[in-house]
Structure 1
Amino acid sequence: MVRKSVSIAQIKSHLFAENRPSDDWINELRADERKGVQHLLVRYDRMCEREFRQIQQFRDMRAYEKTFSVPSAQIAGIDEVGRGPLAGPVTAAAVILPVSLELPGLTDSKKLTADQREQFYEAIAAAADVGIGTATPEEIDEINIYQASRRAMMRAVETLANRPDHLVIDAMELPLDIPQTPLIKGDSKSASIAAASVVAKVTRDTYMKTLHEHYPAYRFNENAGYGTKAHLEALDREGPTPEHRRSFQPVITREA
């Protein structure tokens, strides 16, 4: 039994440690009548319930994407980021998740914090088959952003270590000889697409931070190339860089 000589602070530290306490210890703790301990247990139970829901959601997303192919198929989720910015590439990722990998809480990268994206990115990069593809601002200007996004996605598939048996793609089809399923809002339905959205987002954001070192006036490290007030003011002062998309209206009107 948990002794009352054990402080509430000590119990809190053990209860919310990275290594989950044993069920026997939790059951003993429930007999502790101190209000502070009972409040901690309420928080603990809520945390466990939230984690359970996240695990179930992830498993449901994996099960949903499996309905589009045979059970043993290698499924690659594909997504892109960077259609809207005024500068920088459009970046796509293709991800084949291992069957054994579970990523509770994984969802559309836009719904995650920067820290959450980084944590998921590290887990995905360490365990999954990941391909990255980009299309440059010059390509975007030449063939338009939609076609450039498709090109980036195809390049991402081509850089996978293994050929996938099926593609699940966020609201797009690709001219590839691989069975595929486009899903509207796929990054909220398919775990593989959600993983691809995280990888693409972190990859592109990291690249834009390196561009900031070359073009600090535009604050690419803060806006990732989107048309913020500070970005537009820098365009007015400095004109566009080689990384700007000259086919995009806000850049066209500010050509040096």
Structure 2
Amino acid sequence: MLCGIDEAGRGPIAGPLVVAGVILLEDIVGLNDSKVLSEKKREKLFDEIKEKSKYHIVFSDAKLIDEKGLSFCLKNSILEIINNLKDFCDEFLMDGNTSFGIDILKHKIKADATIKEVSAASILAKVSRDRYMNKIASNYKEYEFQKHKGYGTKAHVEAIKKYGRSDEHRYSFKLKALGEENIGIQKSLF
């Protein structure tokens, strides 16, 4: 059996990185890359995936991303998924172009659109992250997280200019619009 792995939240300037691993136990109709599905369709599939699979979801908050870097958080999340699901499958496949130095992890570009287990993981990661951002939005009204989910939209950057960063923001992600340097430079294990 195959465990598909995918992430949501690698690029936002606020909120967690969420990585999900999914082993499908039953067939599910309509799976695809979460980015091409409507929010309504993702929400419907989310519950069905949870009912018809073994899965594990890992959150890495903004503070951990700042302290350890994205690569560390991704690798540790994948290792946690492997550790939790290894008794139920014999193969692990990650969407993307790297296996993060993990010997038993295979990778494939666009796997989230072509491999049903990875599509399911994509949906679990995206919906979990979106629900988290919607949940915290009322505590951070000035940033309107429910609208952009922490991505660097113009309105979000303007809110940071006005109010500064919150504890949900990634301080290590430098913003050109704020005159910060080293855009996109993050710590790496490699």
Q: Please classify the TM superposition score into its range, dividing by the shorter chain length.
A: 0.7 to 0.9
Q: Could you tell me which of 65, 71, 82 is aligned with 1:146?
A: 71
Conserved 8 A contact 1:235-1:251? no
Q: Trace 1:112-131 onto structure 2 (pairs within 5 A).
A: 112-131=37-56
Structure 1 residue runs of 5 or longer lacking an equivalent are 1-73
Q: What secondary structure is seen at the aligned counterpart in 2 of 1:215?
A: helix
Q: Which amino acid aligns with 1:87?
A: A
Q: Which amino acid aligns with 2:57?
A: I
Map Cα deviations across residues 146-181 of structure 1 (whole Å, 9 max, x no partner). 33222222233334484431101112314556x332
Q: Which amino acid aligns with 2:133?
A: M
Q: Could you tell me which of 238, 243, 246 is aligned with 2:163?
A: 238
Deviates more, 1:194-203 or 1:125-134: 125-134
Q: Could you tell me which of 172, 176, 183 is aligned with 1:247?
A: 172
Structure 2 residue aligned with 1:105: 30
Structure ranking higher on relative contact order (CA contacts 8 Å, 6+ apart): 2
Q: What secondary structure is seen at the aligned counterpart in 1 of 2:175?
A: helix
Q: What secondary structure is seen at the aligned counterpart in 2 of 1:249?
A: coil
Pair 252,163 (structure 1): closer, same or farther in 2 beyond 3 Å: farther
Q: Could you tell me which of 210, 223, 230 is aligned with 2:135?
A: 210
Structure 1 residue aligned with 2:17: 90
Matched, 1:79 2:79: no
Superposition CA RMSD, Å: 2.1
Structure 1 residue aligned with 2:150: 225
Pair 136,251 (structure 1): closer, same or farther in 2 beyond 3 Å: farther
How many residues align structurally?
A: 179
Q: Which amino acid aligns with 1:199?
A: L
Alpha-carbon shift at residue 105 of structure 1 (Å): 2.1
Pair 87,254 (structure 1): closer, same or farther in 2 beyond 3 Å: farther
Structure 2 residue aligned with 1:167: 92
- TM-score, L = length of structure 2: 0.86
Alpha-carbon shift at residue 95 of structure 1 (Å): 0.3
Alpha-carbon shift at residue 189 of structure 1 (Å): 1.8
Structure 1 residue aligned with 2:187: none
Matched, 1:134 2:84: no
**Partners of 2:166 and 2:83 in 1: how far apart?**
30
Pair 227,204 (structure 1): closer, same or farther in 2 beyond 3 Å: same
Structure 2 residue runs of 5 or longer lacking an equivalent are 181-190
Conserved 8 A contact 2:161-2:178? no
Alpha-carbon shift at residue 213 of structure 1 (Å): 1.5
**Partners of 1:120 and 1:183 in 2: how far apart?**
23
Conserved 8 A contact 2:5-2:94? yes
Alpha-carbon shift at residue 230 of structure 1 (Å): 1.7
Matched, 1:183 2:108: yes
Conserved 8 A contact 1:240-1:251? no
Q: What secondary structure is seen at the aligned counterpart in 2 of 1:217?
A: helix
Percent of aligned pairs sharing the same letter: 36
